[in-house]
Amino acid sequence: MKASTLISINDISVDYEIASGGGILKKAYLRAIQDISFVIKEGDTWSVVGESGSGKSTLAMALIGLITLSDGTINYNFNDQKITISSKKGKRKGMKSLWRKIGIVFQDPFSALDPRILIKDIISEPFIGHKIGKKTEVMKRIEKLLPLVGLRAEYLEYFPDQLSGGLRQRVSIARALINEPEFIIFDEPTSSLDVSLQAQILNLIKSIQRSTKLTYLFITHNLMVARYISENIIVMYLGNILEKGKTADIFEKPLHPYTQLLMASIPLPEPGYELKKPSAERVTQGSGITIPNGCVFHDRCPVATPYCGWTPDELITIIANELYNLTGERGISAEIISETSFDIHVVNGNIISEVKDIISRNSKFFKTFREGGNVFHIELFIPWKPRMIKVDEYREVKCILLDKEFK
């Protein structure tokens, strides 16, 4: 039986306003996630992997509808109803029913639970808040849940501070399950836990899926956890998906240089493991305010070529140099029109044919060129924005260097 689509995410982007503007001041935005699309099938587990600041948590928030999208749509195809979130304002009708269908488990079990209310009230709060049933029903549901999440009945009368980290995370999971959701988001559920507790919680999460056939989205920065828990992985960097596919494939042969770097950076608990000089060139990730030209990762990429991050400026110098080598003249001036296009003005009429020659030779970088007298209008081609390249049915990768290989 082929599983049906539960959630389809179509080219969503999210912007955060970082300066509200007013007067002569401009509004400024930070692009948290950009053109993200993938399809979650029923019963799947997806992991989103990336550094902090890569937009993992923003993606989760967008999926629950806690932030408005700037672009794109998300379609939910639940058993009894279909909901669509889009970037248009005023279309937030189905939100409450959406929240009933989605559960979420947060990172820090110490701040996710209200320290002043009892565990049983914490677990039943979503049930009562969404007016799903009467208060008498909730205790029945909790009793059913307890063996599933591995909590003893006596803990219900405790306060959160009487429980250890692992038990609190179990309470969080119980709270996410109380409304019988179809989809659960885990936002780094084990990153604040110890190794042995992490193993317990991961086993628990897996066993719940086995018995309830839930669909999971798992956010983590630990690749080993992602490998253990999920069948599909998305690798994110600066709000972009760089690689996605089946976990086994990605771990067997990471295609994108960033994925390779991530894999190489995990210290392994094996005797004789040695640190080598880090291959990442720059220390910092950069920010979403000024997204790098071309590939978002090119300025840290160990195998980047000049094509990965060309700007019109650099292209113009390359053309001018080539012309100088050919004719010994500097007879052109250039003007940048937009981020992806520029004009070349030929000052000296004698060298028009040479300029034409150079442009046609570089046609793999230029999309079109229009000639109007002494002016050439040039638009840039692929190096500008790398696109998703389909490798096979499940696997996609966004890297200019791999463009030719999988065309």
Partner 1 sequence: MTRRNLNDLVTQESEADIILEVKNLNVHFFTRRGEIKAIRGINFYVKRGEVLGIVGESGSGKSVTALTLVDLLPSGIGCITEGDILLNGERISDTYKKEYRIIRRKKVKLSQKRTSRKVSNHVQNIRGHISMIFQDPLTSLDPLYKVKAQMIESIMYNNRKMLIKRILEKDDIKKNKKDLVELLNFKGIQAFSEKITNLYGPDGFHQELLMIENSSIGETEKKTRIVKALHALEPLDKHIIDSLNNQLNNLRKKVWRPNNSKKYRFTGKINRILLQEAELYSIELLELVDMPHPDKVMESYPHELSGGMKQRVMIALGVANKPDILIADEPTTALDVITQYQILYLLKTLNQKLGLTIIFITHDLGVMAAIADRILVMYAGKISEIGPTKYILSEPLHPYTRGLLQSAPSISNKQVDLYSIPGQVPDLLNPPNGCSFANRCSFATERCRNDPPTFNIKGRTVNCWLYEVKENES
Residues that bind partner 1 in the complex, under the rule CB under 8 A: 51-52, 164-166, 194-200, 202-203, 206, 221-225, 227-228, 248, 251, 261-263, 265-278, 280, 282-285
Q: Least distance (Å) from partner 1 to the CB of residue 279?
A: 9
Q: Least distance (Å) from partner 1 to the CB of residue 16?
A: 16
**Structural contact between residues 241 and 232, judged by C-beta atoms closer than 8 angstroms:** no
Q: Least distance (Å) from partner 1 to the CB of residue 283?
A: 6
Q: Least distance (Å) from partner 1 to the CB of residue 267?
A: 4
Closer of 28 and 199 to partner 1 (Cβ): 199
> Which structure tokens are listed for 136?
């008498």
Closer of 179 and 247 to partner 1 (Cβ): 247
Dist. CA 361–CA 288, nearest whole Å: 35
Dist. CA 222–CA 263, nearest whole Å: 10
Bridge partners for 15 per DSSP: 31
> Which structure tokens are listed for 361?
């030779």
Nearest CA-CA partner of 57 in 220, 229, 228, 173? 220
**Structural contact between residues 6 and 13, judged by C-beta atoms closer than 8 angstroms:** no
Closer of 101 and 168 to partner 1 (Cβ): 168
Nearest CA-CA partner of 9 in 64, 71, 73? 73
Tell me the H-state helices in 178-311.
195-212, 223-229, 247-252, 257-264
Q: Least distance (Å) from partner 1 to the CB of residue 126?
A: 28
Classified as helix, coil or strand, 111 is coil
Q: Least distance (Å) from partner 1 to the CB of residue 147?
A: 17
Closer of 212 and 279 to partner 1 (Cβ): 279
Closer of 180 and 299 to partner 1 (Cβ): 299
Closer of 234 and 378 to partner 1 (Cβ): 234
Closer of 167 and 323 to partner 1 (Cβ): 167
- Alpha carbon 58 to its chain's center: 8
Q: Least distance (Å) from partner 1 to the CB of residue 224?
A: 4
Nearest CA-CA partner of 347 in 376, 380, 385? 376
**Structural contact between residues 217 and 185, judged by C-beta atoms closer than 8 angstroms:** yes
Indicate the DSSP class of residue 112: S
Classified as helix, coil or strand, 333 is strand
Dist. CA 26–CA 31, nearest whole Å: 16
Closer of 247 and 293 to partner 1 (Cβ): 247
Q: Least distance (Å) from partner 1 to the CB of residue 52?
A: 5
Classified as helix, coil or strand, 121 is helix
